[in-house]
Structure 1
Amino acid sequence: MATLPSICSKCLRQAIRSTPKPTTHRTFTASASKTPSSASTTRRIHHSTRQRTPATIEPQNHSNATPYTSGAVRGRQTDQAAAAQRQPSRVLLQPNNLFHSYTHSPSPEIRQRAAFMRQNAYCPHPDHHASSEGEEAVAPPRHVTHECPDCGIPVSCSPDHFVDDYASHLEICDLLRQINEDDHDLLSGRFFPEFEYPGPQIDEAQVNLTNWDTLLYSREFNAVNEERPMRQVTRLLTYPITVGSVLHELSPYSLNDRLLPEGLRSLSALRHTLHPPRSGAGVDIKGLRPNPPPLRLFILGARAESSLPREVWLQLSHLFPRSSFHLIFIGPESMSGRDHEYPLPERTPINPFGQIVEDRLGGQMKISTYVEYYHTLHEAQHFHPFDPYFDAFVLFHPGLGHPASSHEWAQTLPQLLETKCPVICTGYTEFDMERDIAWVKETCGGEADLLMRPGENRFRSLRWDLNDADPGDVSCGNWGVWAFRGKRYEADEYRGKGTEDGSGGWDR
């Protein structure tokens, strides 16, 4: 029987089984394997790089004799090893199998998160809270232990309290189930094509900052045709795109949409830097042109945004291809979870505040990180002087008016107003923003101008997040955006009564 040069071991064994049975049973030995037979051909095709070994002697059964050569046996073992390598190292969750109980989740990270909830979150039932002043609660506070069967998240201390308070839980139950599936999707092990970001874009291709759909389309992102991948990709991109949408000359925020005259003055200065005219620069000596300094963005109270992949922050530089950026992350939590990546340097006279510099980010961006409070750096005049044409501050969910964090900003706010640079703030919810604005108005004593009215951010995260310490508290990243700046006093001609006092729009 002749074999083809490209026949595999599986087909060879099938062909051997289908051959007519010989009249005399012959034992294959090493001397017999030297003849040009099918067995030797098999070894020569599939195992040409291995040392040839004598064929194995198989026990002969006169009823059905099927000789197996060493090449066939070795080929079967190779197929089994390849099949074992193709098996995934962990179980993958399919798109139709993403809902699981947090406590019994196939992901150890989510099971650990459920254990944290059971130890820190309290039952929201009214019996655990005083109905009015002077009255005590019916039952003492208890941690959540009962999971809702519809959302799979611990929300009550007992089945009875879950049933009694089911009407209020029903308001967010669907949202909690969506959070549950999104969390399992991130840990499912699937390939995420939505996390592949495009590179620089030609100047002739204008970006459209109307909403997420127009932005992703005009920036030539991979098509995102489902809601869940859209939620995942916007969760990361909301940080750079929120800043870019406010500073860009094609910003959707204008005088007709929340932007105030004082805000237009501040943003016009920054846009003059971010959109420089073409200078005719080239690669030769005659094409050398002076370049303006990079725009400094001070991101205060940095937490999760400082640990984002740098490909995400590079999208900000792609929106302004003729400008450069220097991102400065400042805050005591700016390096949390990244100690294994960048060990904190020692504080020396050359580097007194332990600055961590990342400067190999494509030539248009540089990132510096300070594990320190901003007011300490400001008092040391580490960043002086400030220029409204080249500097801006960004505060992502700062919690200015939150009772637990407002004292940390009491010393920083007057320093921000002193720089006269715009301060862009975001908030988790409308209540969070209104609380921050009220605290700023009360603290600054009328020495601030409102640049942009508070409202929903066009580029907020479409994915909702869960507060592990309070399962009933859900929010999304950068839900709202607003801006303010230190008041500028300029001499102007008196034009009679009725002239606006330049309040900056706080009471409009």
Structure 2
Amino acid sequence: MALPELAARSALSKLGARCCTPLRNQSRPANGFLQTQQRPFHGQRSSPAAVDGGRQSVARSRSAPQSYATMKRLSSGFAQTAISSVISLANPQDTKSGGARSPVLRPDDLFHSFSDSPVPEIRRRAAFIKQHASCPHPDHQPGTGNTAAAHVNFECPDCGIPVYCSKEHWADDYEAHLEVCDTLRQINEDDHDLRSGRFFPEFEYAGPQMDEALVNLTNWDTFLYTRQFQAINDDRSMRQATRLLTYPATIASVLHELSPYSFGPGGRITVEGLKSISALRYTLHPPKSGGGQDVKSLRLEAPPVRLFILGARAESSLPRDVWVQLAHLFPNARFHLIFIGPESMANRDDEFPLPPRTPSNPFGAIVEDRVWPKMKISTIVDYYHNIHRTGYFYPYDPYFDCFVLFHPGLGHPASSHEWEETIPMLLETKAPIIATGYTQTDMERDVEWVKKTSAGELDILMEPGENVFRSLRWDINDMDPQDVSAGNWGTWAFRGKRYETTHKSES
């Protein structure tokens, strides 16, 4: 199996599982955002009548939040523990013999209940869900005076995921479960597909692009076609591919000169956003300089654009071919990607111990130079506000610097305290800050928190809304299987408020 495919599949395994990531319980709209691009399951459905002797199902609303004591930060939203073990990147037999891995599951045999899955990792995941997730039936909600809280133990026959404590509660709450059942089944099959042992052509990425060819960033289809990726002919493969590519594509969709987000009536880019983004685009799309290899053709080059990816977790361990796609979209610019966060080395155990902190490397950064001729990647295991106080990255320039926060949880009660020191420092730099969210509720909560805590020292650069390049694959929170979300579902941008130094006199 090709190394890029192995690395991509391993990363997708880490991204797709949120089993030990503590709960960020987002409340969804009444209709459920899952209806946006959800494809229903057209197979025969097991009704509660067939499973439980014809009990009538009753829809009920649920709004009981989990205790904050059980919550922790979900900074980028990915499980980072041993319970979600990585698929073995190389089967020992395959490594010795040089042969290809034989398929474990056929394409028409991807649906299995989690507890009876042929994949040991998924069986362990089912055990974790049963141990930690609570039954969502109304009888278990606080204040009802009914049954005490109970863990899930019954797997829905339609989605194969533990969702209720008993068959009776599943049947009684069947209509409410239908809101997410089709999506849970899709997640089930996608997880088994990832571990099926098949060849994944969707993880073979396109290389550099001709100068004469333009990329179309209207949507995923036009992007992959104009970037000359191999044709992806089925929805499942598209979901697997976009789960990784959503990270560089989200950044590029905001900063590229052919961005799908526009300024003006109906557009999401604000006046201040046009100023900041235009500054970065000036650096990312430099004019032809006429430079060459000989001495007479040498030309000065702009410094690299620094992308500070804060609160980094699993995105820092993505295959480097994924991040190199960003360099292909801006072939004339140089990049320095800087992953910063206390968990930025998660899933990279083979690289421990970390480099010692020395005068030349005061934060023990792991530097991957020449990932691509015009891209360098650094990883720092520390909080950004500790680094900012030292002036290590000073000065900041809006023409060359940009901050990116993937699913930061700025407004979530369990993680907002970790950003209280960082956000004011980011606003001081006046550099643009791109942030994403799992759901509309998650994103709007972050927006409100930033507006509230910034005391008006804030300019919105890009109005919050659904991300054109969100992941098409759904994920579940293993602490609450009813909590279904998509990677980088929404995106918005902001920066510290800028004031005019001079004002035009009124005549």
| Shorter-normalised TM range | 0.7 to 0.9
1:176 and 2:184 correspond: yes
Which residue number corresponds to residue 98 of structure 1? 110
Q: State the alpha-carbon separation in 2 of the partners of residues 355 and 140 from structure 1.
A: 49
1:112 and 2:124 correspond: yes
Which residue number corresponds to residue 128 of structure 1? 140
Shift of 1:352: 2.0
Query: Secondary structure in 1 aligned to 2:163?
Result: strand
After superposition, residues 94-243 of structure 1 pair within 5 angstroms as 94-130=106-142, 135=143, 137-243=145-251
Shift of 1:271: 0.4
Query: Secondary structure in 1 aligned to 2:373?
Result: coil
Of 330, 353, 357, 2:367 maps to: 357
After superposition, residues 289-368 of structure 1 pair within 5 angstroms as 289-368=299-378
Q: State the alpha-carbon separation in 2 of the partners of residues 401 and 88 from structure 1.
A: 47
Of 359, 365, 390, 1:380 maps to: 390
Query: Secondary structure in 1 aligned to 2:370?
Result: coil
Which residue number corresponds to residue 77 of structure 1? none
Amino acid at match of 1:235: R
Which residue number corresponds to residue 435 of structure 1? 445
Q: State the alpha-carbon separation in 1 of the partners of residues 347 and 332 from structure 2.
A: 33
**Contact residue 427 and residue 495 of structure 2 kept, 8 A:** yes
Cα 1:495–1:474 shift into 2, 3 Å: farther
Consecutive unaligned residues of structure 1, counting only runs of 5 or more, are 1-84, 498-508
Q: State the alpha-carbon separation in 2 of the partners of residues 162 and 216 from structure 1.
A: 41
Q: State the alpha-carbon separation in 1 of the partners of residues 339 and 98 from structure 2.
A: 43
Query: Secondary structure in 2 aligned to 1:221?
Result: coil
Shift of 1:464: 0.3
Shift of 1:341: 3.4
Q: Please, what TM-score do these two structures have when normalized by structure 1?
A: 0.79
Amino acid at match of 1:426: T
Deviations 1:275-323 (A, max 9, x none): 1110001111111111111000000000111010000000000000001
After superposition, residues 363-442 of structure 1 pair within 5 angstroms as 363-442=373-452
Q: State the alpha-carbon separation in 1 of the partners of residues 349 and 107 from structure 2.
A: 34
Amino acid at match of 1:172: V
Which residue number corresponds to residue 503 of structure 1? none
Q: State the alpha-carbon separation in 1 of the partners of residues 132 and 441 from structure 2.
A: 24
Where relative contact order (Cα < 8 A, 6+ residues apart) is larger, the structure is: 2
Amino acid at match of 1:448: L
Q: State the alpha-carbon separation in 2 of the partners of residues 246 and 276 from structure 1.
A: 17
**Contact residue 314 and residue 347 of structure 2 kept, 8 A:** no
Larger Rg: 1
Amino acid at match of 1:148: C
Deviations 1:54-102 (A, max 9, x none): xxxxxxxxxxxxxxxxxxxxxxxxxxxxxxx899866521111000010
Amino acid at match of 2:255: L
Q: CA RMSD in A?
A: 1.6
Q: State the alpha-carbon separation in 2 of the partners of residues 181 and 296 from structure 1.
A: 38
Query: Secondary structure in 1 aligned to 2:456?
Result: coil
Q: Please, what TM-score do these two structures have when normalized by structure 2?
A: 0.79
Shift of 1:494: 4.8
Of 277, 282, 285, 2:287 maps to: 277
Shift of 1:247: 0.4
Amino acid at match of 1:308: L
Shift of 1:350: 2.7
Which residue number corresponds to residue 468 of structure 1? 478
Q: State the alpha-carbon separation in 1 of the partners of residues 505 and 438 from structure 2.
A: 42
Q: State the alpha-carbon separation in 2 of the partners of residues 252 and 450 from structure 1.
A: 18
Query: Secondary structure in 1 aligned to 2:413?
Result: coil
Shift of 1:203: 0.9
Query: Secondary structure in 2 aligned to 1:402?
Result: coil
Amino acid at match of 1:248: H
Of 264, 272, 287, 2:274 maps to: 264
Deviations 1:1-33 (A, max 9, x none): xxxxxxxxxxxxxxxxxxxxxxxxxxxxxxxxx
Cα 1:88–1:258 shift into 2, 3 Å: closer
Shift of 1:349: 2.9
Cα 1:87–1:357 shift into 2, 3 Å: closer
Q: State the alpha-carbon separation in 2 of the partners of residues 212 and 86 from structure 1.
A: 35
Of 465, 479, 497, 1:455 maps to: 465
Query: Secondary structure in 1 aligned to 2:349?
Result: coil
Deviations 1:118-165 (A, max 9, x none): 1111100111112xxxx4541111111100000000000011111111
Query: Secondary structure in 2 aligned to 1:105?
Result: coil
Q: State the alpha-carbon separation in 2 of the partners of residues 372 and 220 from structure 1.
A: 38
Query: Secondary structure in 1 aligned to 2:293?
Result: coil
Q: State the alpha-carbon separation in 2 of the partners of residues 128 and 88 from structure 1.
A: 49
Percent identical residues = 67
How many pairs were matched up?
409
Which residue number corresponds to residue 14 of structure 2? none
Deviations 1:404-456 (A, max 9, x none): 00000000011000000000000000000110010001100000000010001
